[in-house]
Amino acid sequence: MRALLPFLTLFKHAKFHLILGIVLMLAGMIASIGLMTLSGWFLAATAIAGIGTLFNYFYPSASVRGLAIGRTAARYVEKIVTHDATFRVLAKLRVQIFSRIIPLSPGVLNQYRNSDLLNRLVADVDTLDSLYLRLVAPFITALSIIVIMTIGLSFVNVGLALFIGISLLVLLSVIPTLFYQLGKRFGAQLTQARSLYRVQFVEFIQAQAELLLFNAQNQAQKKLEHIEAQWQNYQQKEANLSGLSTALLVFFNGLLVVAVLWFVSEADLGTGLYKAAMIALFTFCALASFEMLMPIGAAFLHIGQVIASAERVSEITQQTPMVKFTGTQELFLNSQPLIQAENITFQYPNRSDLALNQLNLTIFSGQKTAILGKTGSGKSTLLQLLVRNYDALQGQLLLAGKSIEHYTECSLRKNICFLTQRVHVFSDTLRNNLQIANENTIDDQRMQYIVEQVGLGKLLQDQGLDLWLGDGGRPLSGGEQRRLGLARILLNDAPILLLDEPTEGLDRETERHILNLILQHAQNKTLIMVTHRLTALAQFDLLCVMDNAKLIEQGSYSELLNQESGFFKRLVERI
C-alpha cells in the first residue's frame, strides 16, 4: 500500500473536483437508499390505510418522485465530475512521469525495451485511474452513508439503527480486507503477465517480416499463445473472486434483512397508526444499503494490480539520472579551441570494457573533423559525451574553454545538432517531420528544396509536404529514412554539427552528393563526422583514427597518408 502514497498526493492538483465528486456520489447514494426506504414505508402504510381511510399520500409520492429524479441527476453529474477529476490527475501524473524519465535517457532507459516502457507509461498509468474511481471515493462514500443512515434511523429506534450501522461497518472492514488479501496473491502476477503479453505482442507484430523470412512465425506464435494463456488464467482467477465477492455480499445482505425483520418485529416502534409500516422502512433500508458495498469488494480485489502498476511506474521514475544538468551558463562560441578532451576515460554501465581510454583531442571552431575506426573503437561514444548523454568517468571535457558541465541543457541543445545512426520518423506529415529540425518556422519552399537536394523529391509528387509518413516511416526505405535525417540537419542552424555515420546505407554516387551538401552547409560551422568510409576525407581539416578506445592517429589527410606504416595509410592502401 505504501507504493500508492506518491500517487495519492497527486489528488491535491484536483482537490475541488475530487471533493465535489465525492459529495455528488454521496448525494446519489443517499437519494437511492432514501428512495427505496421511503418506497417501502409508503407501500406498507398505504396497505395499512386501506380504502376509505384518510391518508396523505401527496408528500410521500412527491418525495419518491423527487428522490428518483435527484438520484438520476446526481449520478449523471457525478460521473462527469469524477471522470474529469480522474483525467486531471492522470494528466498531471503523465506529465510528472515524463518529466522524470526524460533525464534518464539514454543511459538508464537503455536497460528497458521500448515496448516495455510503452506498456508502463500507458497500461500501468491507466490502471492507476481506478485508485480514485473504484477505491477512494466509493470507500469514503460508504463510510459516510453508514454514519448518516445510523443517525437517521436512530430517530425511530436507536437499537435497530445501531445494529444496522455496526453490521455494515463490520462488513465494510471485513470484505475489503479479505478480498485485498486474496487479490494480492496474484495481482502482481496478473500485471506482469499482461505486460509480458503486450510486450511480446508488439514485438511479434514488428518482427513479422523477419519471422516469415526465417520461418520462425509458428514458434513465436506458440510462445505468444502460451503467455496469453497464463494471462487469461490469472484473469479467470480474478473473475472467480469477483463473483465470490458479489455472492458473499448478496448472502450477507440476505442475512442482514432476515435479522432486521426478526428484531424489528419485536422492537418498540411507537404507538402511531402506521407503526407497522416502520418494519418495511427498516427492512428496505437494510436491503438498499448493500448498493454502496457492492463495488467495494471488487475494488479491493483489483487493488493488487493497482499496487503492482504503481511499483512498475515507480521503478523507473525513482531512478537517479546518470547525467544532471546543474549548469547555469550559456554557451558562446567565441573562444579557441572550441572542444578539448583531456584524458577522457569512459565506460558504459554494466560493461567491463572501456569505451574511451585516456583520450586527448583538440578541435577548433569552424574545423571539419572526421573520426575513423573499427566498430566499437569509441567513435560514437565521443559524440555521446559531447551532447552529455553520458559524463566521462575520468578526465575533463571542455567546450569553449569551460567544462561542459557548466552549461545549461537548453544552451547545449540549441548550439549542437546531433544526427544519430538511428533516424526516428514520427507518425505525422513530412512537413512536421522536417519542422522539428528548427524551433523557428521553416518556409515550405526551403523544405521542398532540401527534400529534393537529398534525393527525396519523389515524396513530393502526390501530396507534397502533407504526405503522411506513418508509424516509424514505414513507406520509407532505410536509405530514405537516413536522407530524411540529413534533411533535418540541413534545415538546422546550430553552429556545431555531430554526424554519426551520415551516409551509411547510401550508394557511392549518392554518398558523394550528400557529403558535398553537408560540407557546403557546414562551411561556417564546426563539423564532427563519424564514418567508416574514405569518401571525400581530403576535404576535412582533421582526421582522427581510433582503435581499442584510444586515439592512435590524428592529422590532415595528406599528413596521415604520408606516415610510414601508419594505420590510416595501411587502411587506404588495403581498400
Q: Are residues 49 and 173 in the same domain?
A: yes
C-alpha–C-alpha distance, residues 419 and 193, integer Å: 37
Domain assignment present for residue 168? The answer is yes
Are residue 271 and residue 381 in the same domain, yes or no? no
Do residues 343 and 284 share a domain? no
User: Among residues 317, 348, 381, which one ends one of the domains?
Assistant: 317
Same domain, 273 and 368: no
Same domain, 419 and 476: yes
Distance CA 88, CA 17 (A): 9
Q: What is the CA radius of gyration of the chain?
A: 35
The pLDDT score that the predictor gives to residue 181 is 83
Beta-carbon contacts of 480 under 8 Å, excluding residues fewer than 6 positions away, are: 456, 459, 473
Instruction: Map grid coordinates 428512495 to a residue.
Output: 35
Q: Which of 285, 317, 349 is the last residue of a domain?
A: 317
Cβ neighbourhood burial of 562 (10 Å; 0-12, 13-18, 19+)? exposed
Report the DSSP pairing between strands 526-530 and 496-500.
parallel
Residues 254 and 105 reside in one and the same domain: yes
Tell me 337's DSSP state.
S
| 48 lies in some domain | yes
pLDDT per residue as tens, the chain (575 positions): 677 777 778 788 888 888 898 999 999 999 999 898 888 888 888 887 776 566 677 888 888 899 999 999 999 999 999 888 888 888 888 888 888 888 888 878 877 877 788 888 888 888 877 777 778 888 888 899 999 989 988 888 888 899 999 999 998 888 888 888 887 777 888 888 888 888 888 888 878 888 888 888 888 899 999 999 998 998 898 888 888 888 888 898 889 999 988 888 887 776 666 777 888 888 888 888 888 888 887 778 788 888 888 888 888 888 888 888 888 888 887 777 899 999 999 998 888 888 999 999 999 998 999 999 888 888 899 999 999 999 899 999 999 888 999 999 899 989 999 998 888 888 888 899 899 888 888 898 999 999 999 888 888 888 888 888 877 777 788 788 888 989 999 999 899 999 998 888 778 888 888 899 999 999 989 999 998 888 888 899 999 999 888 999 899 988 888 887 778 888 787 76
Cα 52 to the center of its chain, rounded Å: 69
pLDDT of residue 77: 94
Q: Output phi, psi for 212, to 5 deg.
A: -70, -40
Residue 566, C-alpha cell as written in the block: 601508419
331 lies in some domain: no
User: Residue 257 has which C-alpha cell?
Assistant: 434483512
Q: How far apart are CA 435 and CA 423, in angstroms?
A: 15
What dihedral angle (degrees, nearest 10) is formed by the CA atoms of 349, 352, 357, 358? 80
Under DSSP, is residue 158 helix (H, G, I), strand (E, B) or coil? Answer: helix
- How far lies 544's CA from each of 211, 392, 523, 560, in Å? 40, 19, 20, 9
Containing domain of residue 349, as a range?
Answer: 339-574
Q: Looking at 343-467, list the stretches that DSSP marks H as alpha helix, in order from N- to C-terminal side.
A: 379-386, 409-415, 430-435, 444-453
Domain holding 414: CATH number?
3.40.50.300
Return the C-alpha cell found at 415. 548550439
231 assigned to some structural domain: yes
Residues 6+ apart with CB under 8 A from 217: 208, 211
Residue 225 lies inside a defined structural domain of this protein? yes
Does residue 178 lie in a domain region?
Answer: yes
CATH number of the CATH domain containing 90: 1.20.1560.10
Residues 143 and 214 reside in one and the same domain: yes
CA–CA distance, 326 with 391 (Å, rounded to integer): 13
Asked if the structure places residue 215 within a domain, the reply is yes
Q: Are residues 115 and 36 in the same domain?
A: yes
Q: Which residue is listed with cell 487479490?
A: 183
pLDDT at residue 109 in the model? 80
Same domain, 489 and 450: yes
Gap between the Cα atoms of 397 and 363, Å rounded: 12
Do 400 and 283 share a structural domain? no
Please state the domain count of the chain.
Answer: 2
**What's the CA dihedral at 550, 552, 555, 560 to 10 degrees?**
-150
- Is 359 in the same domain as 451? yes
In a domain, 130, yes or no: yes
Give the separation between CA 447 and CA 465, rounded to whole angstroms. Answer: 8
| Phi, psi (rounded to 5 degrees) for 351 | -125, 145
Please check whether residues 383 and 531 belong to one and the same domain.
yes
- The Cα–Cα gap between 92 and 462 comes to 41
Residue 180: closest CA among 169, 18, 193, 172: 172
CA separation, residue 211 to residues 115, 195, 217, 218 (Å): 18, 22, 5, 9
